[in-house]
Amino acid sequence: MLETRNLTKSFGPIQVTKSVSLKLEKGERRVILGPNGAGKTTLFNQLVGEIIPNAGSIHLDGADVTALRVADRARRGLSRSYQKNTLFDALTIRENLGLAAAVALGKGQGLWSDPLQSPEVRETVREVAALVDLAPNLDATVSAVSYGIRRQLEVGIALATRPKVILMDEPTSGVGPEMSKGFHRLLKSLPRELTILIIEHDMDLAFDVADTITVLNYGEVVFDGLPEAAKGSQLLKDIYLGAWEDA
Protein backbone atom coordinates (compact mmCIF):
# COMPACT_ATOMS: atom_id res chain seq x y z
CA MET A 1 0.00 0.00 0.00
CA LEU A 2 2.86 2.35 0.88
CA GLU A 3 6.46 1.68 -0.01
CA THR A 4 9.77 3.52 -0.13
CA ARG A 5 12.79 2.28 -2.04
CA ASN A 6 16.23 3.50 -1.04
CA LEU A 7 14.88 6.88 -0.04
CA THR A 8 17.72 9.32 0.59
CA LYS A 9 17.75 12.94 1.73
CA SER A 10 20.52 15.30 2.82
CA PHE A 11 20.40 18.72 4.38
CA GLY A 12 23.75 20.22 3.40
CA PRO A 13 26.44 17.72 4.35
CA ILE A 14 24.16 15.75 6.69
CA GLN A 15 22.33 12.71 5.40
CA VAL A 16 19.05 12.67 7.31
CA THR A 17 17.45 9.80 5.39
CA LYS A 18 19.83 7.02 4.46
CA SER A 19 18.56 4.65 1.81
CA VAL A 20 15.33 3.91 3.67
CA SER A 21 13.26 1.05 2.24
CA LEU A 22 9.91 0.35 3.89
CA LYS A 23 6.89 -1.63 2.85
CA LEU A 24 3.47 -1.38 4.43
CA GLU A 25 0.75 -3.81 3.42
CA LYS A 26 -2.89 -2.73 3.27
CA GLY A 27 -4.27 -2.50 6.79
CA GLU A 28 -0.86 -2.71 8.41
CA ARG A 29 -0.27 -0.60 11.51
CA ARG A 30 3.36 0.30 11.76
CA VAL A 31 5.08 2.43 14.37
CA ILE A 32 8.30 4.31 13.69
CA LEU A 33 10.50 4.68 16.74
CA GLY A 34 13.78 6.48 17.05
CA PRO A 35 15.55 9.08 19.16
CA ASN A 36 15.21 12.84 18.65
CA GLY A 37 16.70 13.93 15.38
CA ALA A 38 16.68 10.41 13.93
CA GLY A 39 14.92 11.71 10.81
CA LYS A 40 11.40 10.48 11.52
CA THR A 41 9.55 13.68 10.64
CA THR A 42 11.80 14.25 7.64
CA LEU A 43 10.83 10.81 6.36
CA PHE A 44 7.13 11.70 6.77
CA ASN A 45 7.64 14.98 4.97
CA GLN A 46 9.03 13.07 2.01
CA LEU A 47 6.18 10.56 2.09
CA VAL A 48 3.56 13.29 1.87
CA GLY A 49 5.53 15.36 -0.63
CA GLU A 50 6.51 18.37 1.46
CA ILE A 51 10.17 17.51 1.00
CA ILE A 52 11.62 16.07 -2.19
CA PRO A 53 14.12 13.26 -1.69
CA ASN A 54 17.56 13.38 -3.32
CA ALA A 55 17.25 9.77 -4.42
CA GLY A 56 14.96 6.77 -4.16
CA SER A 57 11.24 6.45 -4.75
CA ILE A 58 7.87 6.42 -3.00
CA HIS A 59 4.99 4.18 -4.07
CA LEU A 60 1.38 4.52 -3.04
CA ASP A 61 -1.09 1.78 -3.84
CA GLY A 62 1.11 0.51 -6.65
CA ALA A 63 1.85 3.89 -8.26
CA ASP A 64 5.12 5.81 -8.16
CA VAL A 65 4.19 9.11 -6.47
CA THR A 66 7.72 10.42 -5.92
CA ALA A 67 7.17 13.33 -8.31
CA LEU A 68 3.61 14.14 -7.25
CA ARG A 69 2.65 17.21 -5.26
CA VAL A 70 1.18 17.03 -1.76
CA ALA A 71 -2.38 17.59 -2.98
CA ASP A 72 -2.10 14.91 -5.65
CA ARG A 73 -0.85 12.38 -3.12
CA ALA A 74 -3.70 13.36 -0.81
CA ARG A 75 -6.16 12.78 -3.63
CA ARG A 76 -4.74 9.29 -4.02
CA GLY A 77 -5.48 8.54 -0.40
CA LEU A 78 -2.50 9.70 1.65
CA SER A 79 -3.27 11.83 4.68
CA ARG A 80 -1.28 13.05 7.66
CA SER A 81 -1.64 14.63 11.05
CA TYR A 82 1.10 16.92 12.26
CA GLN A 83 3.52 16.88 15.21
CA LYS A 84 2.34 20.40 16.01
CA ASN A 85 -1.22 21.64 16.16
CA THR A 86 -2.61 22.92 12.88
CA LEU A 87 -6.22 23.73 13.71
CA PHE A 88 -8.54 26.69 13.23
CA ASP A 89 -8.82 27.81 16.85
CA ALA A 90 -11.72 30.19 16.41
CA LEU A 91 -13.91 27.59 14.74
CA THR A 92 -15.83 24.70 16.25
CA ILE A 93 -14.77 21.08 15.97
CA ARG A 94 -17.65 20.54 13.53
CA GLU A 95 -16.43 23.41 11.35
CA ASN A 96 -12.84 22.16 11.39
CA LEU A 97 -13.94 18.68 10.33
CA GLY A 98 -16.35 20.20 7.81
CA LEU A 99 -13.61 22.21 6.12
CA ALA A 100 -11.33 19.19 5.86
CA ALA A 101 -14.16 17.05 4.47
CA ALA A 102 -15.20 19.78 2.02
CA VAL A 103 -11.71 20.12 0.60
CA ALA A 104 -11.42 16.36 0.20
CA LEU A 105 -14.84 16.08 -1.42
CA GLY A 106 -14.06 18.95 -3.78
CA LYS A 107 -16.72 21.11 -2.17
CA GLY A 108 -14.35 23.76 -0.92
CA GLN A 109 -15.10 26.37 -3.60
CA GLY A 110 -15.63 29.83 -2.23
CA LEU A 111 -14.61 30.64 1.30
CA TRP A 112 -17.95 32.37 1.80
CA SER A 113 -19.95 29.21 1.24
CA ASP A 114 -20.61 27.07 4.30
CA PRO A 115 -19.26 23.56 3.70
CA LEU A 116 -21.70 22.18 6.24
CA GLN A 117 -24.53 23.00 3.81
CA SER A 118 -23.50 19.91 1.89
CA PRO A 119 -25.19 16.68 3.06
CA GLU A 120 -22.09 14.71 2.02
CA VAL A 121 -19.89 16.90 4.19
CA ARG A 122 -22.27 16.60 7.12
CA GLU A 123 -22.31 12.82 6.75
CA THR A 124 -18.50 12.65 6.69
CA VAL A 125 -18.32 14.88 9.76
CA ARG A 126 -20.71 12.58 11.60
CA GLU A 127 -18.77 9.45 10.67
CA VAL A 128 -15.39 10.89 11.52
CA ALA A 129 -16.61 12.37 14.81
CA ALA A 130 -17.77 8.89 15.81
CA LEU A 131 -14.44 7.34 14.81
CA VAL A 132 -12.38 9.75 16.88
CA ASP A 133 -14.86 9.93 19.73
CA LEU A 134 -15.71 13.61 19.29
CA ALA A 135 -19.43 13.39 18.68
CA PRO A 136 -20.27 15.02 22.04
CA ASN A 137 -17.78 17.86 21.40
CA LEU A 138 -18.80 18.90 17.89
CA ASP A 139 -20.07 22.33 18.85
CA ALA A 140 -17.17 23.23 21.10
CA THR A 141 -14.84 25.97 19.89
CA VAL A 142 -11.34 24.56 19.39
CA SER A 143 -9.72 27.24 21.55
CA ALA A 144 -11.90 26.09 24.47
CA VAL A 145 -11.12 22.36 24.41
CA SER A 146 -8.32 20.42 26.08
CA TYR A 147 -5.04 19.61 24.42
CA GLY A 148 -5.99 15.94 24.23
CA ILE A 149 -9.21 16.72 22.40
CA ARG A 150 -7.25 18.86 19.97
CA ARG A 151 -5.00 15.92 19.21
CA GLN A 152 -8.05 13.74 18.60
CA LEU A 153 -9.38 16.38 16.26
CA GLU A 154 -6.15 16.35 14.29
CA VAL A 155 -6.58 12.66 13.64
CA GLY A 156 -10.19 13.39 12.72
CA ILE A 157 -9.14 16.01 10.20
CA ALA A 158 -6.74 13.55 8.62
CA LEU A 159 -9.55 10.96 8.47
CA ALA A 160 -12.04 13.45 7.01
CA THR A 161 -10.22 13.17 3.71
CA ARG A 162 -11.16 9.46 3.66
CA PRO A 163 -7.61 8.26 3.26
CA LYS A 164 -6.26 4.79 2.49
CA VAL A 165 -3.09 5.57 4.40
CA ILE A 166 -2.81 7.83 7.40
CA LEU A 167 0.45 9.13 8.82
CA MET A 168 0.52 10.44 12.37
CA ASP A 169 3.49 12.28 13.77
CA GLU A 170 3.57 11.78 17.54
CA PRO A 171 -0.19 11.88 18.09
CA THR A 172 0.22 11.58 21.86
CA SER A 173 2.99 14.14 22.30
CA GLY A 174 2.19 16.45 25.20
CA VAL A 175 -0.79 14.34 26.24
CA GLY A 176 -0.99 12.97 29.79
CA PRO A 177 -0.99 9.22 30.59
CA GLU A 178 -4.78 8.94 30.90
CA MET A 179 -5.43 10.72 27.63
CA SER A 180 -2.71 8.68 26.06
CA LYS A 181 -4.47 5.45 27.03
CA GLY A 182 -7.67 6.77 25.52
CA PHE A 183 -5.71 7.46 22.39
CA HIS A 184 -4.48 3.88 22.24
CA ARG A 185 -8.09 2.72 22.34
CA LEU A 186 -9.05 5.19 19.65
CA LEU A 187 -6.26 4.10 17.34
CA LYS A 188 -7.10 0.45 17.78
CA SER A 189 -10.75 1.14 17.00
CA LEU A 190 -10.00 2.71 13.61
CA PRO A 191 -11.13 0.70 10.57
CA ARG A 192 -8.89 -2.33 10.10
CA GLU A 193 -8.47 -1.74 6.36
CA LEU A 194 -6.86 1.64 7.00
CA THR A 195 -3.08 1.54 6.68
CA ILE A 196 -1.50 3.45 9.56
CA LEU A 197 2.02 4.75 10.03
CA ILE A 198 2.70 6.42 13.37
CA ILE A 199 5.78 8.17 14.69
CA GLU A 200 5.86 7.65 18.40
CA HIS A 201 8.10 8.16 21.39
CA ASP A 202 5.80 6.34 23.75
CA MET A 203 6.95 2.70 23.87
CA ASP A 204 3.73 1.48 25.43
CA LEU A 205 1.73 2.90 22.58
CA ALA A 206 4.16 1.48 20.06
CA PHE A 207 3.95 -2.05 21.43
CA ASP A 208 0.23 -1.82 22.05
CA VAL A 209 -0.83 -0.60 18.62
CA ALA A 210 1.84 -1.80 16.19
CA ASP A 211 1.63 -4.82 13.93
CA THR A 212 5.19 -4.00 12.92
CA ILE A 213 7.92 -1.65 14.11
CA THR A 214 10.58 0.30 12.28
CA VAL A 215 13.37 1.95 14.22
CA LEU A 216 15.31 4.82 12.71
CA ASN A 217 18.67 5.94 14.05
CA TYR A 218 20.69 8.65 12.34
CA GLY A 219 18.41 8.39 9.34
CA GLU A 220 18.92 4.68 8.92
CA VAL A 221 16.55 1.76 9.44
CA VAL A 222 18.20 -0.24 12.22
CA PHE A 223 15.24 -2.49 12.95
CA ASP A 224 12.24 -3.62 10.92
CA GLY A 225 10.07 -6.39 12.29
CA LEU A 226 7.58 -7.57 14.86
CA PRO A 227 7.14 -5.80 18.20
CA GLU A 228 8.14 -8.93 20.14
CA ALA A 229 11.45 -9.07 18.30
CA ALA A 230 12.00 -5.35 18.88
CA LYS A 231 11.63 -5.75 22.63
CA GLY A 232 14.41 -8.32 22.80
CA SER A 233 16.84 -6.47 20.55
CA GLN A 234 20.15 -5.45 22.15
CA LEU A 235 20.70 -2.84 19.44
CA LEU A 236 17.51 -1.08 20.42
CA LYS A 237 18.31 -1.22 24.10
CA ASP A 238 21.57 0.51 23.31
CA ILE A 239 19.84 3.22 21.27
CA TYR A 240 17.29 3.91 23.95
CA LEU A 241 19.68 3.48 26.89
CA GLY A 242 17.48 1.22 28.92
CA ALA A 243 14.17 2.88 28.20
CA TRP A 244 13.03 -0.49 26.89
CA GLU A 245 13.50 -2.32 30.18
CA ASP A 246 10.04 -1.23 31.32
CA ALA A 247 8.33 -1.76 28.00
What mask, x for binding ligand ATP by CB under 6 A, covers residues 36 to 65?
xxxxxxx-----------------------
CA distance linking residue 158 with residue 169, whole number of Å:
12
Considering beta carbons, is residue 1 or 199 the nearer one to Mg ion? Answer: 199
CA distance linking residue 103 with residue 80, whole number of Å:
14
| 3-state SS track over 191-222 | CCCCEEEEECCCHHHHHHHCCEEEEEECCEEE
108's contact among Mg ion, ligand ATP, none, with CB below 5 to 8 A by partner kind, is none
CA distance linking residue 45 with residue 70, whole number of Å:
10
Give the shortest CB-37-to-Mg ion separation in angstroms.
8
Considering beta carbons, is residue 36 or 109 the nearer one to ligand ATP? Answer: 36
Q: Judged by CB under 5 A, does residue 17 bind Mg ion?
A: no
DSSP state of 92: B
Considering beta carbons, is residue 41 or 212 the nearer one to Mg ion? Answer: 41
37's contact among Mg ion, ligand ATP, none, with CB below 5 to 8 A by partner kind, is ligand ATP
3-state secondary structure (DSSP) of residue 43: helix
Number of H helices, E strands in the chain: 9, 10
What mask, x for binding Mg ion by CB under 5 A, covers residues 24 to 43?
----------------xx--
Considering beta carbons, is residue 95 or 202 the nearer one to ligand ATP? Answer: 202
| Residues in contact with Mg ion by the rule CB under 5 A | 40-41
